[in-house]
């Protein structure tokens, strides 16, 4: 259980700041193997997930998980044990037995629901970047944790399509995981005008 609840954006990114390539593919990431196979990553990911009480994602992220895990046919493969909120303006298929809430609109009231459901544990913003940007715009993002992979993509889905300069993010931790990832943790500092 976390001592102080945080809303965190935890994701993998290319060096040049893309989450997925222009075809919404993560093949660039999976070339390094499954999480369990990468030195140091599995333990960090497990520790992170153990402190999560609720999560949110955008429709593209949700659809990628649906397709990647073939969840319509295999709902038991739903990867999360905590309640999930999916932001979408479209009707999407539900995963049988999964605690998924489909929502749209302002992130602030949904964030309040997520915090209640998390019951003192952290809220994980899985992605995509624009959704996370909406949480940032409302002053609801506390921390960004980036696993930076040693690749560049040149285009695709941007990590966080927002200008964040004043105040800048505060680097709080740097780790090396195997010979693949640099993990950068940033505290999101709120503007005194927020």
Domain boundaries, the chain: 7-187
Contacts of 80 (CB under 8 A, 6+ apart): 55, 98
- What CATH architecture applies to the domain 7-187? 3-Layer(aba) Sandwich (3.40)
pTM of structure? 0.92
pLDDT in tens, 66-106: 999 999 999 999 999 999 999 999 999 999 999 999 999 99
Position 37 scores a pLDDT of: 64
pLDDT at 84: 98
Res. 44 pLDDT band, cuts 50 70 90: confident
pLDDT at 33: 81
Q: Which residues pair with 103 in a beta bridge?
A: 87
Distance, CA of 125 to chain centre: 4
Q: What angle do CA 140, 51, 92 make, to 5 degrees?
A: 65
Q: What is the pLDDT of residues 169-193, one digit of tens each?
A: 999 999 998 888 999 999 999 876 5
Q: What is the mean pLDDT of the chain?
A: 92
Spatial CB neighbours of 50, under 8 Å, sequence gap ≥ 6: none
């Amino acid at each position: 259980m976390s001592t102080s609840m945080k809303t965190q954006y935890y994701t993998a990114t290319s060096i040049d700041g893309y989450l997925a390539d222009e075809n919404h593919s993560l093949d660039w990431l999976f070339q390094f193997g499954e999480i369990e196979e990468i030195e140091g990553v599995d333990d960090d990911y497990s520790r992170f997930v153990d402190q999560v009480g609720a999560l949110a994602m955008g429709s593209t992220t949700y659809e990628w998980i649906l397709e990647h895990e073939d969840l319509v046919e295999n709902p038991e493969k739903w990867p999360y044990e905590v309640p999930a909120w999916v932001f979408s303006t479209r009707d999407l298929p539900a995963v049988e037995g999964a605690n998924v809430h489909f929502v749209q609109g302002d992130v602030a009231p949904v964030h309040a629901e997520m915090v209640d459901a998390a019951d003192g544990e952290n809220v994980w913003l899985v992605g995509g970047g624009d959704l996370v940007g909406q949480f940032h715009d409302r002053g609801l993002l506390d921390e960004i944790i980036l696993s930076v992979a040693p690749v560049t993509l040149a285009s695709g889905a941007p990590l966080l399509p927002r200008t964040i300069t004043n105040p800048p993010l505060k680097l709080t931790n740097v780790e090396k995981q195997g010979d693949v990832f640099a993990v950068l943790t940033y505290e999101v500092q709120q503007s005194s005008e927020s």
